[in-house]
Amino acid sequence: MPSKVGPEETIVDESGCIAIPDAIRRRLGIEAGDVRRWRVDDAGTLVVDHGRYGAFGDFEPVAMGGGGTGTHDLAGHENDPADSE
């Protein structure tokens, strides 16, 4: 693992959003769309958990082709026999 990243500053905007510094994102492998859980422990320290969460949290992401911005739903294929019960 890379060496320890020093303190960095970010500014909280009007809607409560912050930017995670690039060096920290790289060190923790944080990518766009990742979910983080925020909590305050008993000592009053802010803790950000950076695991995978939800029903599919243990699954590895799989590229579905394209640029990553398209949807992969059934729009336009509603009558496909492969999707019938």
Residue 38's CATH number: 2.10.260.10
Answer whether residue 28 is part of any domain: yes
Please give the residue range of the domain that contains residue 53: 1-57
Answer whether residue 45 is part of any domain: yes
Answer whether residue 77 is part of any domain: no
pLDDT in tens, 30-39: 888 888 889 9
Answer whether residue 39 is part of any domain: yes
> How many domains in the chain?
1
CA-to-CA dists, residue 10 to 19, 33, 52, 69, angstroms: 6, 19, 24, 27
The distance in angstroms from the start CA to the end CA of the chain is 49
Confidence of residue 17 (pLDDT cuts 50, 70, 90): very high
Answer whether residue 64 is part of any domain: no
Summarize the confidence of residues 5-34 as an average pLDDT: 87
Answer whether residue 4 is part of any domain: yes
Tell whether pTM > 0.75: no
User: Mean of the per-residue pLDDT values for the chain?
Assistant: 74
